Chain A
């Protein structure tokens, strides 16, 4: 469960968040949409305790992230996975070492067990065969997938995905979204996906929130967003989504099988 209440944050007079509130139920995954530079990453960083709010707070499973310190913050973060916009892989380590790092440093698993889990996780994201390459030697899409594997390898209870699909070609973008959704079914984490992948992300989330001018401008099910009469939401969700909603019966039919 993630509760954000009245969050304010500004940088040198640049007011980014202006009293933002949002609630995400346990086990629920929502999509967070909004224009570039509107503060989506800033919001996620507050949730991870990487930034401190000027006002307001973030509560995850009863812990106030905005005031936690030291050991308690560390414990909270151990249950948290974060996919950074740029991947944030360690460049001095290979893909394999990157994914193994949190396990090696934070658990007492045997090397053999760690190897198994890492190989399994890399296979899941389709990176078998690139284990021993360095981040500088692989493409942007592969970096994102490796980072995804690294953030999922510890089985987090809360997952924050910052633009997992931005900058990837449509096929890989879709495969990453599917990957996230299958991981969600397996691990049932509480999560937020920041994305511009509209309407495709609508297929894997139950709820969508739109950030605008530092607050949540609109939230609701994908259908509600699409039929919204708010011009800001309409301009963002756009015609693609309407076309998507028209062919929905067909799609949900195929999903039932």
Chain B
């Protein structure tokens, strides 16, 4: 009896949390589409999220592309079709690896920082102070991050793709001897606009997942995780892990829908 009861309590608790999380997203959407927008904070967050992640995006993009060059060449040359290295690298980057890995980088660099910052503001009562001034914390803390990620992530993803394709070129063409014309020519004929849009849609939705999860976890630090520095560190870990998982699960659904 008590096991059943415990089970019921736990599942109710989870349901409640999911409800709160859903409400958080709805509220965020509401405040995104109603003025006023805090432009200064938005610009600051674009700089923080977009600019600071750029170097890491370039590095991961480049190495991912180079690995793809090796692996793709290896697999394709078994079937004697190493001419298709270009489309293979391009398509996997644009449709899959670019959006997912860029989202991971942004989660790790910006998402975790957002959770920690909002979490610290929560436990040191700065969010309460803001509410008491009659100001809406969503407008100051959540919306600017939301818009900044929506703007930055697709751009970072594009950068990732371009650098990755270049990395594939370095390995495939310069090192393994696929013709430069073949690499790019085949890529141009096999990658069409739909593939690019698929990547854009993915990175937009991953952006929403990241802001949603990371802001939510920060905002509710103390309520669901316990107070103090430990609460913030727990919230940050949960935010990163949950973002990663949701990104991959959502990626599966989107891929299967657009297949």
A interface, CB within 8 angstroms of B = 45, 48, 50, 74-75, 77-78, 80, 82, 84-86, 88-91, 101-102, 105-106, 154
Q: CB of B13 within 8 A of chain A?
A: no
Report the nearest A residue to B123, measured CB to CB: A86
Q: List 6 A-B contacts (CB under 8 A).
A: A50-B132, A80-B132, A88-B126, A91-B121, A102-B133, A102-B135
Question: Is A78 touching B134 in the complex (CB atoms < 8 A)?
Answer: yes
Cβ contact of A89, chosen from B126, B131, B132, B135, cutoff 8 A: B126
- Chain A residue numbers with a CB within 8 Å of B133 are 77-78, 101-102, 105-106, 154
Contact with A along B126-170 (1 / 0, CB 8 A): 101111111100000000000000000000000000000000000
- Chain A residue numbers with a CB within 8 Å of B128 are 45, 48, 50, 84, 88
Q: CB of B125 within 8 A of chain A?
A: yes
* A78 CA / B124 CA spacing, docked (Å): 21
Cβ contact of B125, chosen from A74, A78, A84, A105, cutoff 8 A: A84
Q: Kindly name the residue among B126, B128, B130, B135 whose own CB sees the greatest number of chain A CB atoms within 10 A.
A: B126
* A91 CA / B131 CA spacing, docked (Å): 16
Report the nearest B residue to A154, measured CB to CB: B133
Contact with A along B98-130 (1 / 0, CB 8 A): 000000000000000000000011001110111
* A85 CA / B135 CA spacing, docked (Å): 20
- Chain B residue numbers with a CB within 8 Å of A101 are 133
- Chain B residue numbers with a CB within 8 Å of A45 are 128
Number of A-B residue pairs having CB atoms within 8 Å of each other in the complex: 46
- Chain B residue numbers with a CB within 8 Å of A88 are 124-126, 128-129
Contact with A along B217-234 (1 / 0, CB 8 A): 000000000000000000
Q: How far is the CB of A15 from chain B (nearest CB, A)?
A: 19
- Chain B residue numbers with a CB within 8 Å of A105 are 133, 135
Question: Is A90 touching B126 in the complex (CB atoms < 8 A)?
Answer: yes
- Chain B residue numbers with a CB within 8 Å of A82 are 129, 132
Report the nearest A residue to B140, measured CB to CB: A105
Question: Is A77 touching B132 in the complex (CB atoms < 8 A)?
Answer: yes
Question: Is B126 touching A91 in the complex (CB atoms < 8 A)?
Answer: yes
Question: Is A77 touching B131 in the complex (CB atoms < 8 A)?
Answer: yes
- Chain A residue numbers with a CB within 8 Å of B134 are 74-75, 77-78, 106
Q: How far is the CB of B135 from chain A (nearest CB, A)?
A: 6
- Chain A residue numbers with a CB within 8 Å of B130 are 90
Report the nearest B residue to A147, measured CB to CB: B129
Q: For the side of the interface on B, what is the size category? A: 10 to 19
B interface, CB within 8 angstroms of A = 120-121, 124-126, 128-135
- Chain B residue numbers with a CB within 8 Å of A74 are 134
* A89 CA / B121 CA spacing, docked (Å): 9
Given A86-B125, A88-B124, are A50 and B131 also a contact pair (CB < 8 Å)? yes
- Chain B residue numbers with a CB within 8 Å of A102 are 133, 135
Q: How far is the CB of A102 from chain B (nearest CB, A)?
A: 5
- Chain A residue numbers with a CB within 8 Å of B126 are 88-91
* A85 CA / B132 CA spacing, docked (Å): 14
Report the nearest B residue to A51, measured CB to CB: B128
* A89 CA / B129 CA spacing, docked (Å): 8
* A154 CA / B133 CA spacing, docked (Å): 9
Report the nearest B residue to A82, measured CB to CB: B132
* A85 CA / B129 CA spacing, docked (Å): 11
- Known contacts A50-B132, A88-B129; 19 further A-B pairs (Cβ under 8 A): A77-B133, A77-B134, A78-B133, A82-B129, A84-B125, A84-B128, A84-B129, A85-B125, A86-B124, A88-B124, A88-B126, A90-B121, A90-B129, A91-B120, A91-B126, A102-B133, A102-B135, A105-B133, A106-B135
- Chain B residue numbers with a CB within 8 Å of A80 are 132
Q: How far is the CB of B230 from chain A (nearest CB, A)?
A: 17
Q: How far is the CB of A59 from chain B (nearest CB, A)?
A: 18
Top 3 closest A-B pairs, CB basis? A88-B129, A88-B125, A74-B134
Q: How far is the CB of B110 from chain A (nearest CB, A)?
A: 16
* A106 CA / B134 CA spacing, docked (Å): 8
Q: How far is the CB of A136 from chain B (nearest CB, A)?
A: 11
* A106 CA / B126 CA spacing, docked (Å): 17
Cβ contact of B132, chosen from A48, A75, A86, A91, cutoff 8 A: A48
Q: How far is the CB of A50 from chain B (nearest CB, A)?
A: 5
* A106 CA / B136 CA spacing, docked (Å): 11
* A105 CA / B121 CA spacing, docked (Å): 19
* A74 CA / B132 CA spacing, docked (Å): 8
- Chain A residue numbers with a CB within 8 Å of B132 are 48, 50, 77, 80, 82
Q: How far is the CB of A42 from chain B (nearest CB, A)?
A: 13
* A91 CA / B128 CA spacing, docked (Å): 14
- Chain B residue numbers with a CB within 8 Å of A106 are 133-135
* A31 CA / B239 CA spacing, docked (Å): 42
* A86 CA / B125 CA spacing, docked (Å): 8
